[in-house]
Amino acid sequence: MFDTVLVANRGEIAVRVIRTLRALGVRSVAVFSDADADARHVREADTAVRLGPAPAAESYLSAERILGAAARTGAQAVHPGYGFLAENAAFARACADAGLVFVGPPADAIALMGDKIRAKETVAAAGVPVVPGGRDPDLADAARALGAPVLLKPSAGGGGKGMRLVRELSALDEEIAAARREARASFGDDTLLVERWIDRPRHIEIQVLADGHGNVVHLGERECSLQRRHQKVIEEAPSVFLDEATRAAMGEAAVQAARSCGYRGAGTVEFIVPGADPSSYCFMEMNTRLQVEHPVTELVTGLDLVEWQLRVAAGEPLSFGQADVRLSGHAVEARLCAETVSVKEGARGFLPSGGTVLRLREPAGDGVRTDSGLAEGTEVGSRYDPMLAKVIAHGPDRETALRKLRAALAETVTLGVPTNAGFLRRLLGHPDVVAGELDTGLVERVMDDLVDTEVPDEVYAAAAAVRLDALRPAGGGWTDPFAVPSGWRLGGEPRPVVFPLRVPGLEPVTRGVGGAHTVTPDQVCVTLDGVRHTFHRAADWLGRDGDAWQVRDHDPVAAALTGAGHAGADSLTAPMPGTVTVVKVAVGDEVSAGQSLLVVEAMKMEHVISAPHPGTVTELDVTPGTTVAMDQILAVVTPKEEQR
């Protein structure tokens, strides 16, 4: 085993790898950008090395700086985690050239499986069934030959980046252009492939583990069908969809796929499975790294996959065979991401968020595990992936695991940074999810049932109680009755104490406290109509059951004087902090309703800004590369009737 390992990543996966290194008695080296100087993974490592400025290209994606850090700290191996350089064959080769062990598969296997086109051809030659499709340079022709619907995918990467489902071939050219932009931004390669789309498919993947002595085993499957925008949000092991015969057949196909590329280490073979016929599974791709969802496999097998990555990289053989692998119970994982719902777009408007973690509470206990990179004071920006943590539950059966995970998400508190915890909790309680009736389109179909853009009255009441508590005179002795916020008036009936309040993105409201209430530095309780409601609090944030609201004071006089918060219906504003990547119009251009005008990107996610109505672009305040803040005005489209 190694003495020192450098972890070439950040956030929750860096913390996760450091945990296993500590358990093995191996010294850990963290690396960090300037934005992560005080991050949790930096504090938990035995030592840490600054890489450079915050942009990933100058820090976490700089092979030269990472290899320099390894040399300075005496590291013998580099663990890449996932993302950044984890599936970069050139980096794996650079590690070998520098005399370092890359904790992952051989560079040739990474290159082969990283090219989805070559990967499909290779596994098909090994007898593994694949999805019908086509590739560049005949992409458009292949798509039309397949017929709608088709799925566009980047050849050079995964994670849902650049994937586009095209249901109408009339939109094919525009979707190809958008997919190329995302692929180029995410992977530096805009090569695409197209596959026949299978309606209501299930996404099932097989975890494989291979050593350098010719041994390859699979560790069962993970069901990853609950997705939004082709991004996994919930994963579980095992899948309720597979019988033992299909599980064994898919496992053997995964083993053959791994052997076909000379694989070594932990990897995942992903399959698309028709909902009506699990035996008609088809290979999609192989991820040549540790997966985000690896904890569910660890909990049902009892194996530490990071430990086995390290042991295999150190040259050790697997100490068990396929017959020794046993699955025990059921595990479910939820991905906690920094994102919020745009109240302007309702349930369809999930957008990246950010901020400072003011209060943090992460669930733990019997059968509950949290893998996290968070700490109170953590600054969450828009430069990196929005995933902050993973909450995982394990139980003797699926029903128990789901119940534990719902409860764990309800206990999760990340005030200061909006997350999807409440949404995930409601998703896990949806009848189709509870019944195991899953497919990759389910989340989008039931989204309106899972997201409520209305703020409950008790939230405003709790915010008013906090404001009221802050107005109470401090200290003892005589108190001027006019200074007490009680509504008391000389010679008259007490008047209700009300406060003008505002949740960002919503119109201001005026609310009184009403009912009994108690306020402490980290909690507020209010009683409305005989029902007691308890919230976590920090600054102007309130949270409960995984949901959170930022409730600010609203000064109507100041707002009227400055026009703050009222950009106007003709103004197009940034839905999130990010960078403008595409500008398709100029001042003076006439546009139609719904026409795409600009693209804003944050956390590797594109958001298209469209014209709200027919008209003329009369103001354009940004160019490609402009960094924008949330709600910043980007352009103004003046309706035609106003131009007469």
Angle at CA 625, nearest 5°, toward 619 and 630? 65
Q: Is the pLDDT of residue 530 over 50?
A: yes
**274: alpha, beta or left? (left if phi > 0; alpha if psi -120 to 50):** beta
What pLDDT was estimated at residue 51? Answer: 98
Topology at the third CATH level for domain 567-643: OB fold (Dihydrolipoamide Acetyltransferase, E2P) (2.40.50)
Element containing residue 457 per DSSP (H, E): helix 457-471
**What whole-number distance in Å separates Cα of residue 55 and Cα of residue 48?**
18
Residue 567, judged by CB atoms within 10 A of its CB (0-12, 13-18, 19+), counts as: middle
How much is the pTM? 0.86
Residues of the chain with CATH 3.30.700.40: 457-473+481-559
Tokens of 160: 């849902």
DSSP E strand boundaries for 396-450? 413-415
Topology at the third CATH level for domain 4-103: Rossmann fold (3.40.50)
What pLDDT was estimated at residue 142? Answer: 92
User: What is the average pLDDT value for the chain, to the nearest integer?
Assistant: 91
Residues of the chain with CATH 3.30.1490.20: 132-196
Closest Cα to residue 13, out of 228, 306, 303? Answer: 306
Q: Is the pLDDT of residue 347 over 60?
A: no
In residues, how long is the chain?
Answer: 644
Closest Cα to residue 56, out of 77, 85, 79? Answer: 85
pLDDT class for 622, splitting at 50, 70, 90?
Answer: very high
What digits encode the pLDDT tens for the residues 549-589?
999 888 777 766 654 444 456 788 887 778 899 999 999 99
What pLDDT was estimated at residue 94? Answer: 98
Residues of the chain with CATH 3.30.470.20: 202-326, 329-452
**What whole-number distance in Å separates Cα of residue 349 and Cα of residue 180?**
23
User: Considering only the top CATH level, what class is 132-196?
Assistant: alpha beta
Topology at the third CATH level for domain 329-452: D-amino Acid Aminotransferase; Chain A, domain 1 (3.30.470)
**What whole-number distance in Å separates Cα of residue 34 and Cα of residue 15?**
18
Q: What single DSSP character describes residue 552? A: E
In the CATH scheme, what is the homologous superfamily, with its name and number, of domain 202-326?
ATP-grasp fold, B domain (3.30.470.20)
What digits encode the pLDDT tens for the residues 239-288?
999 999 999 999 999 999 999 999 999 999 999 999 989 999 999 999 99
**Count of other CB atoms within 10 angstroms of residue 96:** 13
User: Considering only the top CATH level, what class is 457-473+481-559?
Assistant: alpha beta
What digits encode the pLDDT tens for the residues 131-141?
888 888 889 99
Q: What is the mean pLDDT of the segment spanning 225-251?
A: 95
- Among the ranges given (44-53, 155-164, 253-262, 483-492), the one the predictor scored with the smallest mean pLDDT: 483-492
Residues of the chain with CATH 3.40.50.20: 4-103
What pLDDT was estimated at residue 644? Answer: 47
What digits encode the pLDDT tens for the residues 149-160?
999 999 887 767
* Phi, psi of 498, deg, nearest 5: -125, 155
**What whole-number distance in Å separates Cα of residue 13 and Cα of residue 25?**
18
pLDDT class for 175, splitting at 50, 70, 90?
Answer: very high
